């Protein structure tokens, strides 16, 4: 099975934006097709990182609580995030050609997270690509977009944003658009995680599991690596639904920051996204981009000008729900934060 691509019948403005770029780039740079395909080395990285994370979890069983937390917040979160990116690669069938092999890789990468999510993510992420920016309905079909209720409750509140960003994902399951078929792969994913968790607890106690769960929670939550979730589709410039990050943290996250490139060509594996950028610089150099995940994360949480409604495709009526909180004088403008430029594009955060 080949890598899933953006559906041609998707009609949201955001999806159309990427489709137009996809066609234009291929027309001008036909050799981009050579970058399509699978990247089997991702399977090797999956095994290496999964083994390392489990080993660190076992080691954590013999550490003090403060040391366990320190490990989870530093190396544990980075490894958990990297494994999450590999799950993302497998979701697009970019590790091997056959779908079942990619599902297996995703499950292996998921085991060190402590809770099953890989097969569920695969289903939801394909909807995200197909319906990017389709958030006008309260249960919007873009599964990464905020719900109307989330926008209304959270708004620009610092505490609300932190809590929503950390724990909100656990409530997305109630959205009809996120319903996942409970097939054999879904249950295999759950069984694999539960089995490894049970073995760790049986032979090393609860601390290894606590390490894995905490690492995963912060890796995709209030952590510098978690800032990627904000950066990818934060509204930086009207008409640009997706942003890229070109900083050094790409070196420990399989170039996941090249997000405009990924949405333009979801059939290109992580290893070739830089080549895509270099092949068609005129299509990427002038776009707004993210300079720093860490600065962006701090600004998102503490600057009241940032809110959960600033996601591509969220309608103006959603934004009005979030504008009820007064803004401090001198707050950083999200459209100009960072102050430097890459080509003619603003670099933010």
In a domain, 82, yes or no: yes
Mean per-residue pLDDT pooled into runs of 10, the chain (349 residues): 39 88 97 97 98 98 96 97 98 97 98 96 92 70 82 87 84 67 96 98 97 96 93 90 96 98 98 98 95 93 87 60 42 37 44
Q: What is the reported pLDDT for 155?
A: 81
**Within a domain: 90:** yes
Count up the domains in the chain and report the number. Answer: 1
Residue 348 lies in a domain: no
In a domain, 339, yes or no: no
115 domain residue, yes or no: yes
Check residue 57 and give its pLDDT. 98
pLDDT at 143: 84
Q: Which domain holds residue 257?
A: 13-282
Query: Is 322 inside any structural domain?
Result: no
pTM for the full model?
0.88
- Asked, for residue 342, whether it belongs to a domain, the answer is no
Residue 190 covered by a domain: yes
CA distance 338 to 105: 38
pLDDT for the residue 11: 53
Q: What is the pLDDT of residue 135?
A: 65
């Amino acid at each position: 099975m080949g890598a899933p691509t953006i559906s041609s019948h998707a009609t949201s403005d955001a999806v159309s934006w990427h489709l137009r770029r996809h066609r234009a780039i291929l027309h001008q740079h036909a050799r981009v097709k050579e970058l399509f395909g699978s990247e089997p080395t991702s399977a090797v990285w999956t095994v290496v990182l999964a083994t390392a994370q489990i080993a660190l979890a076992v080691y954590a069983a013999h550490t003090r609580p403060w040391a366990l937390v320190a490990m989870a917040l530093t190396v544990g979160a980075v490894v958990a995030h990297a494994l999450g990116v590999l799950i993302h690669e497998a979701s697009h069938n970019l590790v091997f050609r056959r779908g079942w092999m990619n599902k297996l890789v995703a499950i292996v990468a998921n085991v060190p997270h402590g809770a099953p999510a890989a097969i569920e993510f695969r289903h939801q992420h394909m909807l995200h690509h197909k319906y990017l920016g389709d958030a006008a309905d309260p249960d919007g079909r873009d599964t990464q977009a905020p719900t109307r209720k989330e926008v209304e409750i959270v708004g620009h509140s610092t505490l609300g944003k932190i809590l929503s960003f950390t724990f909100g994902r656990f409530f997305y399951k109630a959205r009809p658009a996120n319903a996942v078929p409970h097939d054999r792969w879904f249950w295999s994913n759950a069984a694999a995680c539960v089995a490894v968790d049970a073995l760790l607890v049986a032979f090393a106690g609860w601390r290894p599991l606590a390490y894995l769960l905490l690492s995963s929670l912060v890796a995709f939550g209030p952590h510098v690596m978690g800032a990627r979730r904000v950066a990818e589709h934060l509204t930086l410039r009207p008409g640009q639904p997706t942003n890229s990050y070109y900083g050094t943290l790409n070196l420990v996250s399989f170039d996941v920051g090249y997000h405009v490139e990924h949405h333009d060509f979801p059939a290109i594996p992580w290893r070739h996204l830089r080549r895509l950028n270099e092949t068609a610089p005129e299509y990427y150099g002038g776009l707004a981009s993210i300079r720093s995940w860490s600065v962006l994360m701090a600004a998102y949480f503490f600057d009241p000008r940032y809110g959960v409604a600033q996601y591509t495709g969220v309608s103006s009526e959603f934004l009005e729900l979030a504008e009820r909180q007064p803004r401090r004088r001198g707050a950083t403008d999200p459209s100009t934060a960072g102050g430097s430029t890459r080509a003619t594009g603003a670099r933010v955060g």
